[in-house]
Structure 1
Amino acid sequence: MPNIARHLTLITAILLLSSAPTHAAPAFRVCADPSNLPFSNQQGDGFENKIAALFGKALHRPVEYTWFPQRIGFIRNTLKAKQPDNDNAYLCDVVMGYPVGFDQVATTRPYYRSTYAFVYAKQAAGMAGIKTVADIDALDEATRRQWKIAMFDQSAGTPWLIKHGLAENAIPYPSLSGDADKNTAEIIKDDMAAGKVDVAVLWGPIAAYVVSHTPKGRFAMLPLQSEADIRFDFAMSMGVRHGDDERKNQLDQLIGKHAKQITAIMKKYGVPLLDKDGHLLKQ
């Protein structure tokens, strides 16, 4: 009988433990655009999704998203927005891509540096021998006038096109799409694939996306170096709320620890990457 009692007590204890509520690890909560490839989408296809998944795995935490179009008000409606049923908690904690030093958020150490690129249709007039900006400048005006050139407002590409005499026959495009379901990258990709545009100066990740998601071999890109009066290269970090120092430090450590894996993800997406001195890295 004593042995049976001990066994019954043990079984009871096991059952009580197994039925006790378990507390899941807090999620790695990301603020992101649901339709913003190559950066993010709800299906997890963007490189920021992949890096978030990498960090979630490293932290043994599930990744959860708060979705909002990356337009004016994005930070206010995501990173700085309180949960509706808990005024002491926020909707999400990390923006996966943010320029270093922008003061709207506290930025981590950079995890990649990219540059704008000259994206062009290989079959457009005069493009066969293009290797450098000097090659573009050397083409005669009659040849360059044949190009259909996208020119975006509030873009580093616009003053460059003006400086290099390419703005006269430019087609204006907004930097931000008014369609939450179709971002600027998708619009310019579709227009270039349809032959509406031959040339565009695009931020590196978007340039790579256009080249890789249009008919194979039809478009190429020439990464651009910053000039004396035009800056093309920018370091990108992650953003957290000001004062959230513990999370910022954690992200800094993750970026350092997983730098090679992050770079491998970026290269898989074809993003032109620069080292800290501004030199283009080999793909």
Structure 2
Amino acid sequence: MSLSIVRAGALKHVPHGFFGRVGGLSTGAMAGLNCGLGSGDDAEAVEANRRLAADAIITGAPLASVHQVHSPTAAIVREAVTHSERPHADALVTDRAGLLLGIVTADCAPVLLADVQAGVIGAAHAGWRGATAGVTDQAIAAMISLGASIERIAAAVGPCISRASYEVDSAFTERLLAEDPGSDRFFAEGPAHRPHFDLEAYVVGRLAAAGVRKIEAAGLDTYSLEGRYYSYRRSTHRGEVTYGRQISIIGLAP
């Protein structure tokens, strides 16, 4: 089955991929490769979709994930656990070869990280809450605790909602500017004279501020590219009851 996979040159020495909705077994409003366990989709279809994606990275490798809660928390994992046992976190890190790390998104920014020399990888789900609270910082700190070096860590930010599609309210803008006045560069006035936030650029900025030197951003808008990606905001604007999630996966070859 043909799947849509975006790969980053910054991570070319590590098995990885940012998946879209193309392919998969889900039908209806979530047709395609829906990998969201909490989406309300048919559970067997979601499990099969996750296996299809995992096998496209490392055939037969176990896939570890977390119960995402829009937090800055990063968990160190060394095995895949049952869905009910997944830690509540929004980033996961490992030094175990043959273990895949996966996070799901639907407008939030997926971030994959690797220090190839140390054999340490990470994956982070960076929505605005997690991103501004420091989820990428905690992922990097967890990687360093396993032997990674900030000078060697490479990072890739996958498809997410673009600034053109991401209108925010004034309260969000004022709060972020109060915490970091320099973040004004991530906002622009939209066509309705309301602020728009550049989540991708913000995440890239956080990674750079943490000391990551090699960063690549996909520059793909999940909201506007309906045929390629699921989007929470697009589904909300249409009044749909639920929405699919795409998965992003990274692993260390066994």
Would the TM-score normalized by the shorter structure come out above 0.5?
Answer: no
Q: Tell me the TM-score normalised to structure 2 length.
A: 0.29
When normalised by structure 1's length, the TM-score is 0.26
- Greater C-alpha radius of gyration: 1
